[in-house]
Every structure is written in structure tokens, then in C-alpha cells.
Amino acid sequence: MDAYGPVCVGIDPHASLLEAWGVGDTLDGLDRFAATCVEAFAGQVAFVKPQSAFFERFGSRGVAILERTLQDLRHTGTLTVLDVKRGDIGSTAAAYAEAYLDEDSPMAADAVTVSPFLGFGSLAPFLEEAEKNDAGVFVLALTSNPEGPQVQHALVQHGRPAGVPGRGRQTGTVAGDVLAALREANAGATPMGSYGAVVGATIGSTDEDLDVNGPLLVPGFGSQGGTVDDLRRIFDGVTRYVLPSTSRQVLQAGPDVAALRDAAVAVNDSLQL
């Protein structure tokens, strides 16, 4: 972030974007799109975030392109965040963690997104694998989709459903518990921990403590409606941790490599938080 600025560029090969680039919504178009993004962003921005689903829709050959994209981006100065939002339990969670965070995996990324809604403890394999491989984990906490508050704003009493008897328990939200668990996992780390939260730029406002001593991945910035003013307001006091994520705002400048780089620079320049 110090070297390249805080922006995280999403690599989201939507069908409409592939068509707009003139490469076609085909496997070959996906390949050309991904290679162009690597050329444009490797060593130029702090983070890139490939969205796995848009590669997976092409089947095994699309996943192979994702693997190559991750491999080509890594070790260039740019960190990869693989957006897969996985969440499971036991040996299955451990297998997911190994697939995405083990340095020897063909799909290894520098960080991965995960869902904590099977219980934060279910994420232990991801945190452990990340620690072994000097990698990171971004945990969904306050997402900006309209369905999110149904779970994330639900009240709990120190991890128990509201209403469960217990003397002296304080009521908080599910999101608050997730953030508190991240804060504990990052305790004592400098300059920040490797376990971050996903907090949307379009959530409006929150009373939650967003200081988890770790990075805050912030989707929804740019074309999805989030503004610099939103970032200043929502993340007041913790802007040093914020990684605003944008895809369309930058990718619509393609397929010209120089134009893509200029668009990423322009976003970084706008982020005077």
C-alpha cells in the first residue's frame, strides 16, 4: 500500500465486459482478457482481486486460466486476493484452505475471501494455513447487499442467540462478533495483522468498531456507488487499513493496457483519505 497506493483492482470478466472489450464471451476471450489485466496491473497496483466465479463458469479450462493468472501476478510486487467466499467445516474447510493458500498449490493466492457464517471457529483452517504460508484471509463482516443485514445485524449475546439466559452478557451483532474475533486474531501484530474484514463502501453507516488491526477490503467503491466521502465517513479513524476495491471503474478503460494503468492510477490519486 505504501509503494503502490491502496486500490484493489477487481478482475471480473463479466460477459458484457468481454463483449465490450471486443474479445468475445468465449474461452479465448477470457484468456485474452486475463492476460491483458496481468500486463496492465502486475507490479503497478498493490492488489488485484480475481473473482473466481467468472472463470469457473467456463469450466475446467476457465479455472486453468485463473490458475495461470494468479501465478503470473504473484511475485511481481502486486498481491493477489482470490475472491471465492468459501466457508465450510472440518476437513473440507482445511481442503479449501490448502487449495487457495498453500504456497505449492496451483491456485495459490496471497489472500482469500471467506464466509464466517458457519461460526468464526470454522475458519480456523484458513487462518492456520495463512499463517504457515505468509498469506492473508478476508472475512465477510458487513456486506452491502440488501440481504446481508438479516444475518449480519442479528443480535447475539457474546456469541449466543439473544434471549438465551446468562447473567451479565452484553448484546451485540453477529458482525460485531466477527470483527471482535478478527481483532483478537490480529492482536499484537505490526504494522497490521494478516486477517482482514470485508466491509462494503455502500453500507451507509455503522456503529461497529472497524479497527481490527488488519486490512479492510472495501467492495462497492466506484461504479457501484461508493465514494471517497463514504470511505471517510464509514472508516473514520481506520482509513489507513482501507483497501477500496473497484473493477468496472478501471476495467471499462480496456482493452488498452496503458488506459487500464491510467485508470488505476486515477483511482489511487482520488483516494486522499
Catalytic residue among 14, 85, 240, 248: 85
Instruction: State the pLDDT at residue 229.
Output: 94
Q: 85 an active-site residue?
A: yes
Please give the Cα distance from 36 to 22 (Å, whole number): 13
pLDDT 10s digits, 90-124: 999 999 999 999 999 999 999 999 999 999 999 99
pLDDT reported for residue 166:
54
Tell me the whole-structure pTM to 2 decimals: 0.94
With CA atoms as reference, report the closest residue to 67 among 26, 38, 29, 24: 38
pLDDT band at 226 (very low <50, low <70, confident <90, very high): confident
Q: Helix, strand, coil % (nearest 5) of the chain?
A: 40, 20, 40
pLDDT value of position 169 = 59
- Exposure string of 154-184, with b = 16+ CB inside 10 Å and e = fewer, is eebbeeeeeeeeeeeeeebbbbbbbbbbbbe
pLDDT tens for each residue of 162-209: 555 555 557 899 999 999 999 999 999 999 999 999 999 999 999 999
pLDDT of res. 224: 77
Classified by CATH at the fold level, domain 8-270 comes out as: TIM Barrel (3.20.20)
Query: Distance between CA 82 and CA 10 in Å, rounded?
Result: 10
The per-residue pLDDT for 167 is 54
Cα–Cα distance measured from residue 92 to residue 37, given in angstroms and rounded to the nearest whole number: 32
Strands (E), the chain: 8-11, 47-50, 79-86, 111-114, 136-142, 155-157, 160-161, 171-173, 195-199, 216-218, 242-246
Q: What is the mean pLDDT of residues 127-151?
A: 96
Q: Is the pLDDT of residue 159 over 70?
A: no
For the cut 70, the answer to whether the pLDDT of residue 46 exceeds it is yes
Report the pLDDT averaged over residues 230-248: 96
48-83 pLDDT per residue, tens: 999 999 999 999 999 999 999 999 998 898 999 999
**Cα angle for residues 206, 208, 212 (degrees, 5° grid):** 125
Domain edges within the chain: 8-270
**Average pLDDT of the residues in 10-27:** 97
Query: What's the confidence (pLDDT) of residue 120?
Result: 97
Residue 158's pLDDT is: 67
**Does the pLDDT at position 243 exceed 70?**
yes
Q: Look at strands 242-246 and 216-218 and give their pairing.
A: parallel
